[in-house]
Chains A and B, each alone.
Chain A
Amino acid sequence: MRGLRKYLTPFAPDQSGAVSVLYELGGIVVVCDAGGCTGNICGFDEPRWHTTRSAVFSAGLRDMDAILGRDDKLVAELADAAHKIDANFAAVVGTPVPSVIGTDYRALRRMAERVCELPIITVDTTGMELYDVGASKAYVELFDRFATETHPKERGCVLHLGANPLDLSRIPSPEVSLSFDNIVGASAAERTVVMAPSGLSAAKLLQRRFGIPYAFATPCDLRMGPMLKALPSVENKRVLVVDQQVAAAVLREELLARGASQIVCATWFMQVDELTQEGDARLREEDDFEELVYGGEFDVLVGDPTLWRIVSRFAGITVDVPQFPVSGKLVAAEAGMEAATEGCRP
């Protein structure tokens, strides 16, 4: 049945993706919810939350706030927080409640900017899309709003997009993390590295606005290093890789170089044309995955270990690569992480 999950818990939603992008930028982040969404985002989808304080707030909506559409109350509370907390900007992140009551985010932004003395962005997430949709919206909002001035190019300046814990399944290193200054000064970048499909729309925006070229890359050797070291021979084997599409594409090249006969890349998340090859699959339901595996005559499956319960009759080799937005499990931490290498070009 469409939408029914018997084995997997729901994946990281769009609002978590948006907060993941915004988390360390020094802004006030207001999740427009009753409380539960913020708890899910921070307590589960944001691994930095336990170690790094960030100005993430819940709007603490109550039934009458939603029924009466009390945007003015939210704006007053945001203004109060803005007076008490140092911030570069404030972001309002949507959830199912404002989605249902049809919150007018543009009006909300205008109202808030009038009283907050801070630039405000809004991200119209709904809690019903997946994390990469929300992350993509947040990247676009940020660059669209703050990357407006043209600066001289800086030699060696590279922007990494799609480098957040949900995309990378690990906490990103400072080398690939974005700061608010990086965003404001984005036009100085020589190029953009898209480490996950969530970064693509913003990369295209920067290309259009400032002529900055982009390429896809993700640090395959580091993210999947332990798995690759332990990987049995894939020579002449048919392999299914399930991951976010940039990571899967990079792994495809690595496995083909090791002699695999065919690689199929599947993803539960965004599928961009530039990385899609014939036979690749976009998964939506548990049944899709079951059909793909049982109908695909694969020798090896690479993906998050929680997926294997769906295909318990699969007799080949399974290789575990945790995918944080799927299972909420991070890749085991390793010391440091270098900037991405351009392992895969469109």
Chain B
Amino acid sequence: MAHTARFFTAEEVARRGMDNLPDELVSNRHLIYSSPATLAFNSPGAEGFGVKRAGLAIPGSVMLLVAPGCCGRNTSLVSDMPAYKDRFFYLNMAETDIVTGRHLKKIPAAVEEVVDCLPTRPSLVMICITCVDALLGTDMERVCRRAEERVGLPVRPCYMYALTREGRRPPMVHVRQSLYSLLEPRRKRATSVNVLGFFAPLVDDCELYDYLSGIGVKAIREVSRCADFDEFQRMAEANFNLVLHPEARFAAADLQERLGIPSIELTRLYQIDRVRRQYQALGQVLGSTFDDAEDYDAALAAVDALRAAAPHASFAVGECLNADTFELALALTRYGFEVREVFGTVQAQNFVFLRRLAELSPTTRVYSNMEPTMLYYDAASCPVDFALGKDAGWYHDDATCLAWNEDVQPYGYAGVRRLFEALLGSIGGGDEA
């Protein structure tokens, strides 16, 4: 028995094509190995913004998790964070509840008891349900309406259905729809724009804010920057939505249908020329042009600075980070660095990056974090200088590790600049040393 982790070269994967991927790279064709590198996959509530944190994105909201005890077990990881203190409550299901469905009748009273025990009235109660109710086919919308009547507050469902993770509307898509469904119609303002996609704001120095201000936008709203429920409601007055994460696509479509707010979708990229092209396309749609020379140069200067400091740097790129793994690997390769390993999930939307990566760096190893033989992964078989992403850092504890998975979102030229400044800083160069 070979005790080695199975990988494929980028060239092999590209040659096989998206329709003929090896079983090792397709998560529903093998057991899912559980390591700290896969925690974000295994436990959507445990890391970053999973359903639980996302469901509490509305200021002043609280959540009642109606589920078997096991589903809420790790919530104390979140509820220990100051922003979530006293915002999680639980209604534990027993086997009898599953058989009889009696827990559904208890929910309105439980919501009332939660609301009554709080020192201030919440703006919203989210009812979070899990796989069990997915299988039972629970009509939680109806239950929520009953709870609303009882407490006189908005009560909304959110679905932490791990079973549907790879379905058409996975939980993180649905939770966004649920949140934005709270917006009530308002008079439109041509100078208001929403940024959808993330549950934390973009980095403060993201050039996108300046570009929008430059064309006359006065209010750029993100749910995470809304101080209270009223300000959140003002997102309904937007002239258009900028969708920065594909998981917000359905929510944006709902807003277009329900409130008549159109949307434009952008992608997070780390290839500077692609960032420029995307801004040019956005400018065309908006009937304007953005002067991006300064931001472009600053991002390029950051890349050059790392190139000067570590011209032959090698990388392992993971998937627990604020980037598309394959796009970032491609960007690094195009900047002249060596990407030896990628830990990622090959999907239709990133295959185009992988194919290009294969042309430039055919020997790059592609691993799936979730494949069983990752139990035997040995970093000594492929040493690198930098491990990018929390998962890659877990494998390569001898390399310089940059998790790059903070809540606040890097984006655009600012994202590129910050990434390379952080990399330079991590090896003792630049201002961050």
Chain A interface (Cβ < 8 Å from any Cβ of B): 1, 3-6, 9-16, 30-31, 33-40, 42-45, 49-50, 53, 55-63, 66-67, 77-78, 80-81, 83-86, 95-97, 99-101, 126-128, 130, 327-328
Give every chain A residue within 8 A of B277 (Cβ-Cβ).
none
A84 to B2, CA, bound (A): 7
Give every chain B residue within 8 A of A96 (Cβ-Cβ).
68, 70-71, 98, 130-132
A9 to B1, CA, bound (A): 43
B46 proximal to A (CB < 8 A): yes
Give every chain B residue within 8 A of A13 (Cβ-Cβ).
68-70, 73
* Chain B residue nearest in CB terms to A46: B34
Shortest A62–chain B CB gap in Å is: 6
Give every chain B residue within 8 A of A53 (Cβ-Cβ).
35, 375
Give every chain B residue within 8 A of A45 (Cβ-Cβ).
73
Task: Using known A-B contacts A35-B165, A100-B135, determine if residue A40 contacts B71 with beta carbons closer than 8 Å.
Answer: yes
A50 to B37, CA, bound (A): 10
| Interchain residue pairs with CB less than 8 A apart (17) | A3-B97, A10-B73, A36-B130, A36-B160, A39-B34, A39-B43, A40-B74, A44-B43, A49-B34, A58-B32, A60-B27, A77-B30, A83-B1, A99-B98, A127-B68, A128-B69, A128-B95
B400 proximal to A (CB < 8 A): no
Give every chain B residue within 8 A of A85 (Cβ-Cβ).
1, 372-373, 375
* Chain B residue nearest in CB terms to A125: B70
A58 to B74, CA, bound (A): 17
A77 to B130, CA, bound (A): 25
Shortest B384–chain A CB gap in Å is: 20
Task: Using known A-B contacts A42-B34, A96-B131, A100-B136, determine if residue A9 contacts B72 with beta carbons closer than 8 Å.
Answer: yes
Identify A84's interface contact among B1, B46, B95, B167, CB under 8 A.
B1
Shortest A189–chain B CB gap in Å is: 31
A55 to B131, CA, bound (A): 24
Task: Using known A-B contacts A1-B113, A96-B68, A100-B136, determine if residue A12 contacts B31 with beta carbons closer than 8 Å.
Answer: no
B331 proximal to A (CB < 8 A): no
Report whether A55 and B375 are in contact in the complex, using a CB–CB cutoff of 8 Å: yes
* Chain B residue nearest in CB terms to A101: B135
A116 to B276, CA, bound (A): 54
A100 to B43, CA, bound (A): 20
Shortest A90–chain B CB gap in Å is: 10
Give every chain A residue within 8 A of B113 (Cβ-Cβ).
1, 4, 6
Report whether B106 and A62 are in contact in the complex, using a CB–CB cutoff of 8 Å: no
Identify B32's interface contact among A5, A57, A78, A130, CB under 8 A.
A57
Closest 8 A/B residue pairs (Cβ): A39-B43, A39-B42, A34-B162, A10-B69, A127-B70, A13-B70, A57-B31, A5-B90
